[in-house]
Structure 1
């Protein structure tokens, strides 16, 4: 049986942070990172359609204790391979 951990995805901007108060459960930090990549891509696509540059933002993945486990810059969510 797998053990799931609750991770929180805070969006970090130049003016501060938008904190995730609900979080989501994943079997591993790697799975949480994969979800953060999808979230970053969705946020970027919405921003691009609105004419905003959000390439300097990042998603901070935290555990239930509020400890930062990983920071994913939005630019890392863009595949550079063809």
Structure 2
């Protein structure tokens, strides 16, 4: 199963995913990115912060960017 890394990127900051997550394919990785973005936004909202301008950069095992998911897109993304 391929491994994907989910880095959170926003306004001059970057939080690296050093462990990665096994996903069956890119579609599954996108679902994981949507879930992650929603969870991070929900946590931020509970603290009174707006992080909706951030995005998740999904990279494959070779380090190539395979998807960039803006947090705002995760709000309306179908499950």
Tell whether the structures are fold-level matches, with TM greater than 0.5: yes
Runs (4+) of structure 1 exceeding 6 A deviation are none
Shift of 1:15: 2.3
How many residues align? The count is: 78
The Cα RMSD (Å) is 1.4
Structure 2: tracts of 5 or more residues without a match: none
Structure 1: tracts of 5 or more residues without a match: none
Q: TM-score, normalised by structure 2?
A: 0.93
Q: Say which one has the larger Rg.
A: 1
Give the Cα separation in 1 of the matches to 2:48 and 2:26: 32
Q: TM-score, normalised by structure 1?
A: 0.90
Answer with 34-43 or 72-81: which moved more: 72-81
